[in-house]
Amino acid sequence: MPIELKMPALSPTMEEGTLAKWLVKEGDAVKSGDLLAEIETDKATMEFEAIDEGVVSQILVPEGTDNVKVGTVIAVIAGEGEDAGSAKAAPAPAPAAEPKGEAAAPKEEAKKDVPAAAPAPAVTTAPTASGERIKASPLAKRLAADQGIDLSTLTGSGPGGRIVKADLEGAAPAAASAAAPAPAAATPAAAPAIAGPIPDFGIPHEDEKLSGMRKTIARRLTESMQQSPHIYLTVDIRLDALLKLRGELNASLESRGIKLSVNDMLIKALAVALERVPSCNVSFGGDVMRKYSRADISVAVSIPGGLITPIIVDAGGKSMSKISTEMSELAAKAKEGKLQPSEYQGGTASISNMGMMGIKQFTAVINPPQAMIMAIGAGEKRPYIVDDALAIATIMSTTGSFDHRAIDGADGALLMKTFKELVENPLGLVA
């Protein structure tokens, strides 16, 4: 019987993805391990491999389709001995047919001689005051209930006049009150939209469709600033001793092809500081506080189209040369879009360094569910008091952002103090 290929979940949190490119075409023979397609998640583009042998009889979701739900049948393979021409499935739901990526309604009938593709969730309807049923997607119905919007006042833009998420944008919540037969129980307010349509002021422009990564960045940073009360603590750190040690270490590591960066050493310093101040190596979970016994440092890396945070696992327990090697490998994979989910999901704290771009000081947004992030500014020559005398020293301004629900100001200050001491006396990082 035909084998259905379904959109895989390439990470524990993946709910949908973009079918970026097919690497096979209908009629191609495939075997286990062959690459079938490239799938773009919110963080990376990953390859999808075949696990069965057969002939690709039907491609149901064309390449370039956005917001394909996990579990959607994307292609059919005819098994050994089957006629590829007869091994067809009912057309899969086409996510791109509706605005904002909602799954389209499946066809009512499939061919009887072969299993049908897995159907999308049934269309949800809502009654009007006259008893007439209104077609609306489950997502649109839920959002309308959260925002107090009367679906009967809207015109659906989906297939068959179905109301979808995009139709709710700009709808007036007050319309729901007139249709409600009685006061409803209070429901939690929905999170505000990240942004509405951009007004057209007649300025020449070009609108570029957002990638899944950019959408995720926008959503997560908005949620972080709305839900996590940030407190910012800044210290000035003298870098001269660390720069001197870096030069000495690089001279000894040159034969091994390793060259430590300042950032490698700062990753180590943050991890050791978190181990010494465990009250900052935590996550806030509503009614629980998760205390980590290991410092895994997420490192912000800029890549085309966005930002990703590969993780140095147990950075406090690794040598700086090991951190340097791992960081080089992870950064290269990040820029190629080849990071595995386990390499960027997790982490107990983050570090973001804009010093190499000449940024003197900045504040960074916490990466939930982490409770802190360290923002590293540029090291620059400044007048500084050294041994009670004015001198010129290389100074770096560093700002920690802390989730005040999880970390008290005094604990955050102790972490910043510990980090400063480790950087100014860096032999503690090689001990």
Residue ranges in 228-315 assigned as alpha helix (H): 240-253, 262-276
Sheet of strand 45-49: strand arrangement: 45-49, 35-40, 16-22, 65-69
The two three-digit tokens of residue 430, written as one number: 């090689």
Beta bridge pairs of residue 45 = 40
Query: Residue 248's domain is classified under what CATH number?
Result: 3.30.559.10
Of the listed ranges 126-130, 146-150, 181-185, 349-353, the least confidently predicted one is 181-185
Per cent of the chain over pLDDT 70 is: 78
Of the listed ranges 107-116, 201-210, 351-360, the least confidently predicted one is 107-116
**pLDDT bucket at 125, cuts 50 / 70 / 90:** very low
Q: How far is CA 109 from the centre of its chain?
A: 37
Rounded-to-integer distance, Cα 163 and Cα 105, Å: 12
Identify whether 281 is part of a domain: yes
Sheet of strand 311-312: strand arrangement: 230-238, 389-403, 372-386, 349-353, 297-299, 311-312
The two three-digit tokens of residue 160, written as one number: 């068959």
Same domain as 327, residue 225: yes
Of 79 and 52, the one with more pLDDT: 52
Rounded-to-integer distance, Cα 240 and Cα 223, Å: 39
Query: Residue 69's domain is classified under what CATH number?
Result: 2.40.50.100
For residues 120-136, b (16+ Cβ closer than 10 Å) or e, as one string?
A: beebbebeeeeeeebbb
pLDDT single digits (tens) 337-366 = 888 888 998 999 999 999 999 999 999 999
Domain residues for the domain of 96 are 3-101
Active site residue 230: no
User: How confident is the model over 7-22, as a mean pLDDT?
Assistant: 81
76 phi, psi to nearest 5 deg: -130, 135
Same domain as 138, residue 41: no
What is the DSSP secondary structure assignment for residue 90, as one 8-state letter?
P
Of the listed ranges 5-9, 289-293, 311-315, the least confidently predicted one is 5-9
Identify whether 188 is part of a domain: no
- What's residue 329's pLDDT? 95
Identify whether 356 is part of a domain: yes
Same domain as 241, residue 354: yes
Place of tokens 């949190």: 13
CB atoms within 10 A of CB 245: 18
- What's residue 347's pLDDT? 95
**pLDDT bucket at 123, cuts 50 / 70 / 90:** very low
Residue ranges in 77-174 assigned as alpha helix (H): 138-147
pLDDT single digits (tens) 367-394 = 999 999 999 999 999 999 998 999 999 9
- What's residue 39's pLDDT? 87
Same domain as 254, residue 171: no
Non-local (6+) Cβ contacts of 138 within 8 A are: 121, 124
The residue count for the chain: 431
Same domain as 127, residue 90: no
Same domain as 85, residue 137: no
Non-local (6+) Cβ contacts of 48 within 8 A are: 8, 35, 36, 37, 38, 39
Same domain as 367, residue 265: yes
Q: How far is CA 36 from CA 22, 89, 267, 410, in A?
A: 6, 18, 38, 54
Q: What is the pTM of this model?
A: 0.61
**pLDDT bucket at 100, cuts 50 / 70 / 90:** very low
User: How confident is the model over 158-187, as a mean pLDDT?
Assistant: 57
- What's residue 18's pLDDT? 87
Same domain as 175, residue 29: no
Q: How far is CA 234 from CA 348, 349, 383, 399, 400, in A?
A: 20, 17, 18, 4, 6
One-letter amino acid at 353 equals N
**pLDDT bucket at 104, cuts 50 / 70 / 90:** very low
- What's residue 279's pLDDT? 97
- What's residue 114's pLDDT? 42
- Side-chain-side CA neighbours of 377 within 13 Å: the count stands at 19
- What's residue 293's pLDDT? 96
Identify whether 202 is part of a domain: no
Q: How far is CA 56 from CA 34, 35, 94, 221, in A?
A: 12, 12, 19, 41
Identify whether 55 is part of a domain: yes
Which has the closest alpha carbon to 398: 270, 283, 298, 312? 270
Query: ∠ CA(225), CA(229), CA(234), 5° rounding?
Result: 95
Residue ranges in 277-368 assigned as alpha helix (H): 320-336, 341-344
Same domain as 277, residue 358: yes
Catalytic member of 404, 408, 424, 428: 404
Same domain as 126, residue 77: no
Rounded-to-integer distance, Cα 295 and Cα 272, Å: 8
Identify whether 64 is part of a domain: yes
User: How confident is the model over 69-93, as a mean pLDDT?
Assistant: 71
114 three-class SS: coil
Q: How far is CA 194 from the centre of its chain?
A: 15
Provide the domain count of the chain: 3
Per cent of the chain over pLDDT 90 is: 45
Q: Round the average pLDDT of the chain to a whole number and report it.
A: 82
User: How confident is the model over 401-415, as a mean pLDDT?
Assistant: 97
Identify whether 332 is part of a domain: yes
**By 3-state DSSP, what share of the chain in percent is helix, strand and coil, each rounded to 5?**
30, 25, 45
160 three-class SS: helix
- What's residue 13's pLDDT? 67
Same domain as 170, residue 238: no
Identify whether 335 is part of a domain: yes
Same domain as 235, residue 375: yes
Q: Is the pLDDT of residue 421 over 90?
A: yes
Question: Where among 132, 164, 180 does a domain terminate?
Answer: 180
Q: How far is CA 148 from the centre of its chain?
A: 29
- What's residue 181's pLDDT? 44
The two three-digit tokens of residue 259, written as one number: 């060259």
Of 81 and 286, the one with more pLDDT: 286
